[in-house]
């Protein structure tokens, strides 16, 4: 599976999406959900797989984590490194080539599993870097959401990406521990002005078609 973020132009445009109105709101909803999954979890050393431009790395360091980001795209690593994020360092390497003697307290895959050729092998490999009783965070794009279906119809960076259902993501991580899942970011861009109401009621009614599937695996 080709990684579109190894293209310099794509990498340079990545952070711009988070400055758009839709991007800002989705980012807020996703981080709010991830934050709930981190309640009472130790703030230690985190291995972030597919750390990109450091957007999520910076968020995790603000929560108290020391982040080691492993990212295949040198263009993304360059952008992340220039941000000089305190308590974060970035390594330009494929996760399948990464080696370390460090045992991390946790790991994270935030919209990175979608672009890893062999997701099962990647998860298995990363689990070996985590301490006993550690945990894994993940955030993936929902195959059954409005955006999941729309992005597959368009030609963009997600054209060849692998999206997930809740069942598929549970199957991916289920052998390693207890999987907790939450879905969020329900509104489509067209109705983004009503995001607070839409988010509240769809979460209340446990709809499974949110654009973002977030979760934690307690090992």
Domains and CATH numbers, the chain: 4-218 (3.40.50.150)
Give the pLDDT confidence score for residue 153 in this predicted structure.
79
Instruction: Output the six-digit token pair for 125.
Output: 């490999």
**In sequence order, what DSSP letters do the residues of 113-162 get, joined into one string?**
GGG-S-HHHHHHHHHTTEEEEEEEEEEEEBTTSHHHHHHHHS-STTTT--
Within the chain, strands assigned E span 45-49, 66-71, 88-92, 104-110, 130-141, 178-184, 212-218
Residue 158 has a pLDDT of 84
pLDDT at 118 over 80: yes
Q: For the residues 112-124, what does the mean pLDDT come to?
A: 96
DSSP state of 1: -
């Amino acid at each position: 599976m080709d990684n579109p973020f190894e293209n310099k132009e794509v990498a340079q445009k990545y952070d711009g999406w988070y400055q758009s109105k839709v991007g800002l709101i989705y980012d807020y909803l996703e981080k709010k959900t991830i934050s709930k999954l981190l309640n009472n979890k130790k703030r230690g050393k985190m291995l972030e797989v597919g750390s990109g431009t450091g957007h999520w790395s910076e968020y995790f360091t603000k929560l108290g984590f020391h982040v080691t980001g492993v990212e295949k795209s040198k263009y993304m690593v360059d952008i992340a490194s220039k941000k000089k994020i305190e308590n974060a360092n970035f390594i330009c390497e494929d996760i399948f080539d990464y080696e370390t003697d460090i045992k991390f307290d946790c790991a994270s895959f935030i919209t990175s599993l979608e672009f890893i050729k062999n997701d099962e092998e990647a998860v298995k490999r990363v689990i070996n870097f985590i301490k006993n009783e550690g945990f894994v965070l993940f955030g993936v794009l929902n195959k059954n959401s409005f955006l999941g279906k729309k992005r597959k119809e368009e030609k963009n960076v997600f054209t060849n990406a692998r999206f997930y259902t809740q069942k598929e993501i549970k199957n991916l991580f289920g052998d390693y521990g207890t999987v907790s899942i939450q879905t969020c970011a329900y509104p489509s861009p067209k109705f983004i002005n009503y995001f607070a109401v839409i988010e509240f009621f769809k979460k209340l009614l446990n709809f499974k078609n949110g654009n973002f599937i977030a979760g934690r695996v307690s090992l």
